[in-house]
Structures are given as C-alpha cells and as structure tokens.
Amino acid sequence: MLRTRNFVGIWAKTVLKGRTAGLVNTHPDGRFPDSLIIYRVILFSGLFLALIDTSPLDGQSPQAAIAFLAEQEKPEFREGHKLPALSHWRFLSPDVARVLAEDWGFALPLHVRPDHIDQLDDPNSDPGRIVRLARDHPEIFRLQLVVAPSRAFDFGLDREDMPEGTFYRNENGALVEGEYYFSPLAPNSAFVRIGRLFAEMIETVERYASVSIILNGGEYGLKKPHFVPQRIAGQDPLVMEEWRNDGRSWLEFTSSHKARHERVVRRALLRAAPDAMYIHYSEVGGGHTRRKMVPDWENHDFLYQPGVSDLAAPPLYFRHANSGFTGQRDMLSQLLNARGQELSMGAAFAYYWVSAGWYRRNPDLIADIERYEGFLKMCYIAGGIGTIAGYFGSRPYQDPVETTFPQFIAQSRIHAFFSHLDEFLLESSLLPGPDRHRWSRDLPAYEFPTGNGNRRVLVRKHRDRDQWLVGAWAADGRAGSVEVEIPLAGKFDLEAIAETNVYLIEIADGLSQKRKKRP
C-alpha cells in the first residue's frame, strides 16, 4: 500500500513573474493585454505553465520528497527489459531525480536552455551533476532532455530576423493585428533556425553524456484555432489562396503544415543526439483525444501526423478537458479515440503524457491512486510502453509531497509490472472489438462490451501465439464480474476492479486457459 496521509494536500498559488511567452502568441481575440494573455494560456494548457518557468524550485525541500520516497515499497523491474525509461516534465533537484532514476525507473532530466548548458562544466552545479551521473553510470542513469522551443526567442532568435513568410501578413504586408502569429506557409528555413538553436545546445550535452530521450513540449509555432482563431488566417490573402487551392479542410491543411514544420525540428535535434527517442507533445505528435467528441472539436488540436514523434504521445490529464474516469467525456474513451487514429496510420505504440490531476482549488480534480493505477494499466494494454509525469498546477515542492509524488510512484509501479510483460507488449496488437468508437464512428472502439459502461475491457493478441493479454477495469471503483467474448479464444468471466485485473489467456491442448497476472 502507498503510505500517504492526504493525496489532496493544499493549494499553493503560482506567481507569474511577468515573463513573456516566447513563441506562444495567443491573443484569442487580439485585444487582451499581455498579463491576461498569459493567464488564459495557462487556463487552457497545463503544460504551458512548465514552459514559463523551469528555474530551480523553492518551497518544500527536496529532502521531504526523498524521505517520502524512502518510505515506499520499491517496484521490481525485470532485469534487461526492453521498455524505455519513464520521464517527467518538471524541474526536479538532482537529488530527487537521482532517487527516481535509481529506484523508480525514471530518466534523469536536463532542461535545454543556455544558462543550464553554461553550467555543464561545473561539477557542483545542478546541470553538471546530472550529466556526470549519466556519463559515469550509464547502466543506471539515462539522460532525458526537456526542450521548450516556445522559449526560442528568449534564447537568442529574433522575430524580426525570421525568414519572409514566417508570420501571417495582411494584404498590405503588415503583421496581422500587429502580432507574430506563425503562418502554416512558414518556410522550412524558419524551423531550421529553431532546430539549430536547440541542436547546438544538445551537441554540447552529448559531449558529456549520451542522450536517451528528448521531450519537445510543443505548443509553439503554428497554433491550433483554439489559440489563434481562423479569422487571423483569413486576413492573410496568400494563405487563403493556398488553402482554397489545396481542397482539404482547414484542420487537415494546417495539420499537414504543422507536421512539416515539426519534422524539420525533429531532424535537427536527432542529428545532435542520434540515439535518442524523440517525443513531441500532442498536437500532430499524438491522436486527437477529442475528435468528434464535441461540435467544435476541430478547434482544440491538430490531427495526428506520422514522422513527428517517435511514439504517439497524446495528453491524458485527469479532469483536464475530460470528465475523469467516468462520465460522458471519460479518459479511456479519449485514449481509445486517439489510439484509433494512431493505429490507422501505423503507430503501434505510444508514450503518454499523463497526470492524476493537480489541485486547482478543488480536491475533486485529483484522482484516487487506485483507479489511476488501473487507468495506467489500460494505457499499456492499449499500446503504451511508457509515460511522462506531469503535475502542472504548481511547483512540486510548494505542495506537500503527498499530492505529487504518489503520481510518480503509480507510474513506476505500473511500468515495473509491464516490464515483466514487455515481450508480449512489443509482439502483440490491440484488438478492435466488435463495435465502433462512441464518438469517431469511422474507427473501431478498440474495447470489448461488458454490458456495464464503467466496467471496461481491452484485449491484446500476440502476433505469433494463441495468447491474449486482457485488462478488466472498474472505472468507477466498484468491482464486479463481466462476461466477455474474445474471437478465437472464447467466452470468459472476468473480475473488473479499480486497480485493473490483468489476465493472460492462452490455448493449450485445444482448451482456453485463463490466469491472473500479479504485480
């Protein structure tokens, strides 16, 4: 059991220090002052908060986090498993990051920014300590880079020096509404500059230690209509002409150009760290979780495009643009909505951005850990092979460790569980089930009906053997039995529980056999 007194904790107000949003130019109506612009962006995007301030954290000490982790039962990973390391999108002290890497399966994070790169020579600095751990003990510590291209103009690029055509311009050649809104027709050369800026810093890191994972936080450059409405584009005659001649919807048109931009950045960063796994946040890097869920779904994200992220990477944050584990807009249905799009384009596996929620002045916005662990198991059965931890409501040490670090622990335990099933995960496929998805009727549901909307069952089939891996989750926390029929295997009675029961079904001597997999 997780030793924790109170998973909710207290609210700690985040203070914005008047910093600009870098490449994130988000004036929803073109008239808000900068302070309100930043505030609105934070409301609509939890991850953007991490992009504003990734400096060392204050508040509750890292020692409290280390002491909390020391009290917990450590997970048992299979030695030599093939799953990637877990990662996280926040600044953690090297001491805390070291514990998470040594005992809990996480990579060591380093934020790619000039002031951190300048400190690599100093063995007593935080960045210097991180790279030396990864260099001296590569069998234990894998290095994860956090890249925020939204800060490119803070890090040395000049908006006024960007190539012609980078930003929307009106019929008079002036910036639309006087703002630097990226155009879908922005030339590749604009993103060569952005990629080169970060690639040069990554090359410096590589001289100290090999990079295993690169996380690109996205949310920069060409923005989805939720942040930059189509009326902005409508004032650029060249863009409008190109779109009309293209013949596709605005979402398809902008998604393809967003992917073109991001592939340029990806190539630059991977040239600097050729052995790294490259993960791009959502946008074109993961399936659209809200596709056809709401009438204005086309405003809320781009469409998934192959070749941007090495693994599909949609966001799955509890009670953030969803109704939690149950309800009309539940998280598993959103996950399977994204998976259907990704699988249709050949993306067999995923690496999810996840969170059990952050406080936001309402304890109902944080999930209970048992059901969160059950949800994470369903993520892996759906095709996940790792996750990225996010706690975006405030800085980790400003809330008690009981509100944040149980999320790391849950991810670690589930990752360890599936490290013993890695061969099966990597050599199997998610079965489509008999139904269509509840929102995207053109895609399979990728789950099996149980007769109870809160008892969910997913099934993977091994490609070469008559074996099936089955997850049975009680999304509402109320355990109960369900009967499921699996093609070629037969009918089975399963027990759906909050933490998700995982079963291995196989055919031996012509008979189907079922056994429960234990953590």
Chain centroid to CA 97: 19
Distance CA(96)–CA(53), nearest Å, equals 19
* Closest C-alpha among 162, 160, 161, 156 to residue 118: 156
pTM score, whole prediction:
0.88
> Considering only CA atoms, which of 316, 364, 449, 131 is closest in space to residue 459?
449
- Average pLDDT (154-158) is 97
CA distance 323 to 128: 42
Give pLDDT tens digits for 130-140.
999 999 999 99
Identify the pLDDT of residue 396: 44
Q: Which of 33-47, 156-170, 383-397, 469-483 has the lowest mean pLDDT?
A: 33-47
Residue 49: is its pLDDT beyond 70? no
Instruction: Give how far Cα 218 sits from Cα of 90, 120, 313, 317, 406, Å.
Output: 15, 25, 11, 16, 26
Residue 342 identity (one-letter amino acid): E
Mean pLDDT of 486-511: 93
Q: Which residue has the higher pLDDT, 226 or 466?
A: 466
- With CA atoms as reference, report the closest residue to 396 among 148, 64, 45: 64
Q: Look over the chain and give the mean of its residue pLDDT values, rounded to a whole number.
A: 87
